[in-house]
Amino acid sequence: MSEPIVVQAQDPERERLEHEGWVAIARSFGAQLDADRVDRARLGALTIRDDVSIRALGPDDVPAVIELDRRTIADYPGSVATQHHPLSREAAAPSSVRRAFGAIDASGELIAMTFVDFDGSHVETDFTVVDPGWRGRGIATAVKAASVIALVDDGAERFRTGGSEENVGILRANAALGYVRDEEWVTLTHP
């Protein structure tokens, strides 16, 4: 089996590869949210909860970030295009260019987090994850909403995100925040 190749769904290269016998094994998407389209009131309402508190993460949270990453590492669907690698200590450390937001439960445990890279105007989502016991309760949507509001306040103009086409939870969370899908990718492999 050859190394998988990731191409845009509309790329003519895809047709050529498929003629040569390459087959699609996964689909993924890219989506964008422009700051001037952010509905602050609606997103703000998504972050107000009585079961968890949503806040920016900092250096003191690194051990909890690594622990949550460790127990969810096998949960990311898709193929090479949407792979999530275990966080190193450096990648788990929030900073001015690597911003992170999390949800903390009543016992003080970190149960969800979203990490983005931020260059002062553009935001690229790295990953979002929720503890399995807390999924399906709007928590991914809440931490992503908190991150969008805070980063707009800090000058963000454009947010990008992406993921596996089969990941309905993240697709719907992105749609709830106003992300518009503008890229489709296929991962091809040659059996």
Where along the sequence are the contacts to ligand COA (CB under 6 A)? Answer: 72, 75-77, 127-130, 135-141, 163, 167-170, 172-173, 176
Nearer to ligand COA, 156 or 173 (CB): 173
Q: 17 vs 173, which CB is nearer to ligand COA?
A: 173
Retrieve residue 106's tokens: 């009543």
d(CA 15, CA 8): 11
Output the smallest distance, CB 2 to ligand COA, in A. 26
The nearer residue to ligand COA, 17 or 149, going by C-beta atoms, is: 149
Residue 19 CB, shortest distance to ligand COA, in Å, is: 32
Shortest distance (Å) from residue 114 CB to ligand COA = 8
Q: 1 vs 41, which CB is nearer to ligand COA?
A: 41
| Residue 110 CB partners (closer than 8 Å, separation 6+) | 57, 61, 64, 65, 67, 68, 102, 103, 104
User: What's the gap between Cα 137 and its chain centre?
Assistant: 17
Report the nearest approach of ligand COA to the CB of residue 30 (Å). Answer: 13
